[in-house]
Structure 1
Amino acid sequence: EGPGRYVLVKGSPEALKPLLAEGAAPPWFQEAHTDLAERGLRILALAFRRLPKELIDRDLTRESAERSLCFAGFIAFECLARADSALVVGALRESNHQVAMLTGDSPLTALHIARTCGITDGEKPGLLLRLPEEGGEAR
């Protein structure tokens, strides 16, 4: 096909999946994402789209450019907690402080980190609270 222009997109798997072309997400997409997140990894999904010739010189909105994408893969990063995190969390809990974590990470990644740092008991199930989306209800 020769040289051309491409739209390259990265983002959370949850945000990127709806932008993929129909059938472009492999059958293992969700399982792989869940497996990586449960191991405490931060995950980016990658996708692309070759622009048709008739769209190359036109001004495109982000919405029109980032649609019907082809899935390219995941990148998973390990960001270890500080070595003294569990010690600090333990000291706070012993001094009768309640410890909480607010994060933009995937809920499964956050749960893994909370267990690693001693914020939650690794033997007990986690609780996920979600704020209502605009116009929606809490889940």
Structure 2
Amino acid sequence: SMRRWAHALVEESSAPARLAELPMWQALLQPPDPVVGLRPFNAAIDVGSTLDRVEVSVPAPVTASLLTTLPTLFHGGVEDGLLAALALAVCRWRRARQVSESSTLIQLEGHGRQEQIAAGADLSRTVGWFTTVL
């Protein structure tokens, strides 16, 4: 149930092993995070109606490599390849603007259905996302 799932997340968040991770996560968030763009994010004007869209067609062999070859070679998922491409693009963008910073903070949204977090969880009959931000 959603209730049991929520309780499992609360329990996991206060587990000694998770609490021991806190200094590591705090250290990861310490470096500066230079703006990627012309200005910092502004919640008042950076809304859906001001969004520009860029559409790119990718040839089928490239897509096949991203969906199958890349995850197999690197023992990861499609998202890992896309994040690596984003990291390379950010590095190139920064280098062109003489911004010297080796890290970047990326916020991702997920479906929140990591069943391994709650022993015995079976979310296959649960409708909707448990949206997580990481």
TM interval, short-chain normalised:
under 0.3
Higher RCO (Cα < 8 Å, 6 or more apart): 2
Question: Scaled by the length of structure 2, what TM-score is found?
Answer: 0.24
Question: Scaled by the length of structure 1, what TM-score is found?
Answer: 0.23
Q: Which structure would you say has the larger Rg?
A: 1
